Amino acid sequence: MDEVIKGSNWNADSGTPPARKRMRFAADFIDLLIIPAVLGGIFGLVLIAAPDLLRDILLTAVYVGWIFFRDLYFSPGRWMVGLKLISLGGDAEISLFGSVKLFKFKTTSSGSKPSFLQVVWRNFWIYPYILVIGYWVELVGLFVKSERFMDLAAKTRVIGTR
């Protein structure tokens, strides 16, 4: 089992510690840089004759679809380095800036795959800034706390399996 990461929000009551930073970085490099670049190249070539606006909308849909797919079903990067995404269980709360509570939702049981709403909330801040600011903000969280900021909000965690 991975040792506890210094500076993380992990404690004995929350179960399994988060995966190591270098493992998360390797998985994210594959899942958030390499695969989107390949998908963009393939779909960009297929849509080369399409009008720019239509191509941009479809490529954005492909990227968002990829983010959902990798969190709900299969992530090649996490699989290659021996990581998996789990739910921490309990209630997750969606709020604006931590103070205006919008609603709560039940998460899946601790240790199981995250629910659809957890995946949506986990990736919420990436959507407005697809492949630009959102990825950088999440990388800062990953390096500072060993967990993405939105993992904490969605009550999910990436853990080591090897």
pLDDT of 33-46, one tens digit each? Answer: 899 999 999 998 99
Residues 6+ positions from 119 with CB-CB distance below 8 Å: 68, 71, 72, 154
More confident residue, 48 or 90: 48
**Do residues 100 and 55 make contact, with C-beta atoms less than 8 angstroms apart?**
no
Residues 67-125: pLDDT tens digits?
Answer: 889 888 889 999 999 988 888 877 666 655 555 566 666 676 777 788 887 888 777 76
CA 112 to the chain's CA centroid = 16
Flag whether 40 is in a domain: yes
What is the distance between the alpha carbons of residues 148 and 160, in angstroms, rounded to a whole number? 15
Flag whether 106 is in a domain: yes
Q: What is the pLDDT of residue 2?
A: 37
Domain count, the chain: 1
Lowest mean pLDDT among 62-66, 84-88, 153-157: 153-157
* Confidence band, pLDDT 50/70/90 cuts, at residue 4: very low
Q: Which domain range does residue 93 map to? A: 17-160
Amino acid at position 100, single letter = V
Q: What is the pLDDT of residue 6?
A: 43
On the question of pLDDT at 134 being above 80, the answer is no
Q: Any idea which residue has 């600011």 for tokens?
A: 133
pTM of the full structure: 0.70
Flag whether 3 is in a domain: no
Flag whether 10 is in a domain: no
Flag whether 12 is in a domain: no
Flag whether 9 is in a domain: no
Flag whether 145 is in a domain: yes
Flag whether 57 is in a domain: yes
What is the distance between the alpha carbons of residues 132 and 82, in angstroms, rounded to a whole number? 27
Q: What is the pLDDT of residue 131?
A: 56
CA distances for 19 relative to 32, 69, 82, 154, angstroms: 17, 21, 10, 17
**Do residues 24 and 158 make contact, with C-beta atoms less than 8 angstroms apart?**
yes
3-state SS class at 125: coil
More confident residue, 7 or 111: 111
